[in-house]
Amino acid sequence: MKFLALIILFTISPLIAIAESEWNFGADLQMTEFYYPEEYGEDTNNSLFKLELDPMMRWKKGEHWRVYAKPVLVANPDNKSSEEQFFFEPSEAYVRFQKDVLNISVGYNIVTWGITDGYNPLDMINRRQIYDPIRSKKLGAPSILISESLKWFDYDLMYMPRARETILPGENSRWLPREVFVPQVPGNDLVLLLPTNLRYTWGNDDILNNALDHNFALRVQKTISIFDLSISGYDGAASAPIVEPQVTGTIIAVSPKTVIQVDPDVRLDTKQYRIRQGGFSLVSHQWDFLFKYATSYSDNYGDYANLPGWIHENVLGVEKTFNFSDAMLIAIVQYSFLDTERKNDSNISFTEIFRRAWMAGGRLSWKEVWNASVLGLYDTVHFSNFVEVTLGRRFFDSWNASLTANFISGDIQNPLGLYSKNDAYLLTVGRSF
């Protein structure tokens, strides 16, 4: 962090002294009211009001130098998780030098590698703030990013001296399991039954194998005829840590799994671990359809017992755009299929939701002011599903409003159904300046 700050300081200082530069400013303001119909824990919220401000500053000097900053400020004062009441994130904040086909950015960078929607196995670089997993936010990566278009291919090379950690839900969040919890342990043979008055605290945060130090990523892209191809490699921290509950309680069963009735106080320890990943993606536009395929293979460093092991992820997608007289519909269907070293059904494993899952969605816009979208996911292994429906409208060019409904269903023993009490309704009003 300090290393990058010094580079930015010494780079910007002489440039600011030079006159004849161009500045641009703007901001997005968004106000959202959340309502959760069902109770889920003693000290969690049934309603929330969130205020978000995203200011933007862009500075241009000549042909080569750019400075860009778009931080995120969020106020959520009535949240019962004190960690979530206020949030500040630099997000994108960098100095860029560009010349011909070369770009070098130093600072906080956000990148999206991969081409699939909803579930993107190649999007590993930026950590996330996941106070609400459905609406997580990417965190800027303190990094040096070099991008160049050469004669035969394009490439992106990224170096992070010290990677950031994922920001997990607060201690009173509805997104921490509050009825049943299956920790990630070898064989997945331990079940914890949680009381309704569960009290979480975050405990130790350990770093295995220098996971956060010296992270690297490389992507090479090439267009051949109607195919856009990419290969990528990543060596660095996993996108989310291992979460290990430390509990006391009473054993009530030992077969086929050990079942423990947990005491109300549970400490959650985390372990950051390092992975290496190789990935490939393909996009092709044929017969008025857009075909997408992404695959990756990841493995972890070290011999710690609770490491997840290797994972092979695949996503196939088809996208189609339909044009009408005053409307446009973009529709997409995707299927994900994963294989993992540990064939478990841990209900805290995000990947388990997508082991064999269908995703489908569509976004309709019409008369340049209305928009509607539907997104659905069906987990064919655990027979759970997620649906999101949104209706929005733009007013007076700079105002917009939307209504959103989220529905989650499934047995509480499975990874998605665990959150079936987190159905939500949202009213959002925003303005751009």
- The tokens of 245 are what? 């509950």
Instruction: Enumerate the domain spans of the chain.
Output: 2-432
Q: What is the pLDDT of residue 13?
A: 47
Tell which residue, 312, 316, 298, has the closest CA to residue 359.
Answer: 316
Token digits of residue 147? 């991008």
- What pTM was estimated for this model as a whole? 0.87
Confidence at residue 427, expressed as pLDDT on a 0 to 100 scale: 98
Q: Which of 84-88, 215-219, 277-281, 346-350 has the lowest mean pLDDT?
A: 346-350
pLDDT of residue 9: 44
Mean pLDDT of the chain: 90
Percent of the chain with pLDDT over 90: 72
Pairing label, strands 265-272, 199-207: parallel
Closest by Cα among 398, 355, 424 to 29: 398
Q: Is the pLDDT confidence value at 244 over 90?
A: no
Greater pLDDT, 284 or 6: 284
Of 137-141, 296-300, 411-415, 429-433, where does mean pLDDT reach its minimum? 411-415
Is the pLDDT score of 11 beyond 60?
no
**How many DSSP H helices and E strands does the chain contain?**
2, 27
Q: Give me the pLDDT at residue 191, please.
A: 76
Whole-angstrom distance, CA of residue 239 vs CA of residue 123 = 9
pLDDT of residue 188: 59
Res 30: pLDDT = 97
- Helix segments in 338-424, DSSP class H: 350-353
DSSP string for residues in 272-322:
E-EEEEEEEEEEEEETTEEEEEEEEEEEE-S--TT----EEEEEEEEEEEE
Q: Confidence class of residue 4 from pLDDT cuts 50, 70 and 90?
A: very low
SS3 419: helix
pLDDT at 3: 44
74: confidence class by pLDDT, cuts 50, 70, 90:
very high
Q: What pLDDT does residue 305 have?
A: 87
CA-closest candidate to residue 127, choices 115, 142, 117: 142
Q: In this predicted model, what pLDDT tens digit does every residue of 147-193 receive, in sequence order?
A: 999 999 999 999 999 999 999 999 999 998 877 665 545 555 777 77
- Checking if the pLDDT of 14 tops 90, the result is no
Which is it for strands 190-193 and 258-262: parallel, antiparallel or unpaired?
parallel
Cα–Cα distance between 142 and 90 in angstroms, integer?
10
Distance CA 203, CA 411 (A): 29
Quickly state the pLDDT bin for 220 (edges 50, 70, 90). very high
pLDDT, tens only, 332-379: 999 999 999 877 655 556 788 899 999 999 999 998 899 999 999 999
Using CB atoms within 10 Å of the CB of residue 162, give its burial: 0 to 12 exposed, 13 to 18 middle, 19+ buried.
middle
Based on its alpha-carbon atoms, the radius of gyration of the chain, rounded to whole angstroms, reads 23
Q: Are 252 and 261 within 8 A, CB to CB?
A: yes
State the virtual CA torsion across 203, 206, 211, 214 in degrees, nearest 10: 90
**How many Å apart are CA 122 and CA 279, to the nearest integer?**
6
The tokens for 358 are 């269908």
- Asked whether 130 and 169 are in contact (CB, 8 A), the reply is yes
pLDDT digits (tens, 9 = 90+) for 96-116: 999 999 999 999 999 999 999
pLDDT in the model for residue 2: 46
Which of 314, 350, 349 has the alpha carbon at shortest distance from 334?
A: 314
Which is more confident, 400 or 351? 400
Can you name the residues that pair with 72 across neighbouring β-strands?
Answer: 89
2-432 classified as CATH 2.30.30.60: no
